Amino acid sequence: MTVYISLLRGINVSGQKIIKMADLRSLYQSMSLQNVKSYIQSGNLVFNSDANNQSQLATEISQAIFAHYQFDVPVFVLTLEALRSARQNLPFDDIDLDAEGSKVLLCFLSDLPSNADELLTPYLKSNERLVINGKVLYLHCPDGVGRSKLSHSNIERKLKLNATIRNLKTVDKVINLSSN
């Protein structure tokens, strides 16, 4: 069985698309996904499956959520190895990750972006940094994510794709949860 991580986009934010994690874990279990665990309320789930098509798994989970809750939720499914690789490829070697972990973001993209630097750089503040490696966008916002002009919606709108963002501390917790 493969260990997978699903990252749901836009649930339990500002009273919108409310899903209790206990209910979501039960929904996953009803889909024959095993060893289902969740981390915080933003839709980070770890599970095991015999399936070998991440895209199909993401579609099936999204359809099950729609059938149960009557709203669409973009779902990103990664293998544990892919999440670890995204973490290991973190391009910011000069940052104190213990102190700045909540200000370092990994943005998982639905597709490979084209000319992303050109489209997103105008939104960067002078002290912010952006690096794109495949389908992962890395962002460091020293003043905090809430003060950045490079918002989640700007990333999606400018790149014309779906994205979901997790800070480094959350990524580390999910990796740790996946390894237990």
Question: Which residue ranges make up each domain of the chain?
Answer: 2-82, 91-179
* Site of tokens 């952006």: 130
- 12 near 69, Cβ under 8 Å? no
pLDDT exceeds 90 at position 19: no
| pLDDT band at residue 12 using 50, 70 and 90 as cut-offs | low
CA distance 89 to 136: 10
Amino acid at 141: C
Give the residue from 55, 61, 74, 68 showing the smallest Cα distance to 33. Answer: 61
Of the listed ranges 49-58, 80-89, 121-130, 145-154, the one predicted with least confidence: 145-154
- 7 near 164, Cβ under 8 Å? yes
Q: Percent helix, strand and coil across the chain, each rounded to 5?
A: 40, 25, 35
pLDDT exceeds 80 at position 42: no
Cβ-proximal residues to 176 (8 Å cutoff; 6+ apart), any chain: none
- The Cα-based distances of 141 to 27, 124, 128, 133, 174 in angstroms read 35, 9, 5, 18, 21
pTM recorded for the entire structure: 0.91
Average pLDDT estimate for 57-84? 94
pLDDT exceeds 70 at position 15: no
Q: 2-82 has which fold?
A: Alpha-Beta Plaits (3.30.70)
What is the pLDDT, as a whole number, of residue 14?
66
- Decide if 2-82 and 91-179 have a common fold: yes
Q: How many other C-beta atoms are found inside a 10 Å radius of the C-beta of residue 154?
A: 15
Give tens-digit pLDDT for 92-118: 989 998 888 899 999 999 999 888 889
pLDDT exceeds 80 at position 11: no
Q: How many other C-beta atoms are found inside a 10 Å radius of the C-beta of residue 72?
A: 13
CATH architecture of 91-179: 2-Layer Sandwich (3.30)
Our CA dihedral for 50, 54, 55, 61, rounded to 10 degrees, sits at 60
